[in-house]
Amino acid sequence: EVQVVESGGGLVQPGGSLRLSCAASGFTFSSYWMHWVRQVPGKGLVWVSRINRDGSTITYADSVKGRFTISRDNAKNTLYLQMHSLRAEDTAVYYCVADAFGPNDYWGQGTLVTVSS
């Protein structure tokens, strides 16, 4: 059974940092591009970042460039998103997605990040 499980969300103050993790199982993690997509509750979807199979190609949305870092550990079947200099507008549910936009994409249930003082 395919499972994509995000963790690490929570409440953080503006300017703070947080690291999200995404544990994958039930598929060959190292064969998939991985993405982070976020959604402010009640609002639309926003693509955040992607990383290729071996971590050599990484892309970010302009809104997070220079503040967020995506990485992966294929030995642990885990994707990460390190977030620094967090702002109120980063408050959202963060989804981990395997092979986003492909016919066999897998989404997690999301983890909520709240940036507030």
Partner 1 sequence: QSVLTQPPSASGTPGQRVTISCSGGSSNVGRDNVYWYQQLPGTAPKLLIFNDNRRPSGVPDRFSGSKSGTSASLAISGLRSDDEADYYCVAWDDTLSGYVFGSGTTVTVL
Token code pair at residue 33: 């591009």
* Residue type present at position 96: C
Q: Is the dihedral of CA 24, 29, 32, 35 positive or negative?
A: positive
The stretch among 11-19, 22-30, 83-91, 101-109 that binds partner 1 (CB under 8 A) is 101-109
Binding of partner 1 by 27 (CB under 8 A): no
> Residue 14 has what DSSP assignment?
T
* Residue type present at position 91: T
Binding of partner 1 by 66 (CB under 8 A): no
* Nearest approach, Cβ of residue 75 and partner 1 (Å): 26
Token code pair at residue 99: 């092979």
The stretch among 7-15, 16-24, 83-91, 108-116 that binds partner 1 (CB under 8 A) is 108-116
Size of the site for partner 1 (CB under 8 A): 22
> How many Cα atoms are found within 13 Å in the side-chain-facing hemisphere of 62?
0
- Interface residues with partner 1 (CB under 8 A) are 35, 37, 44-47, 50, 59-62, 95, 100-105, 107-110
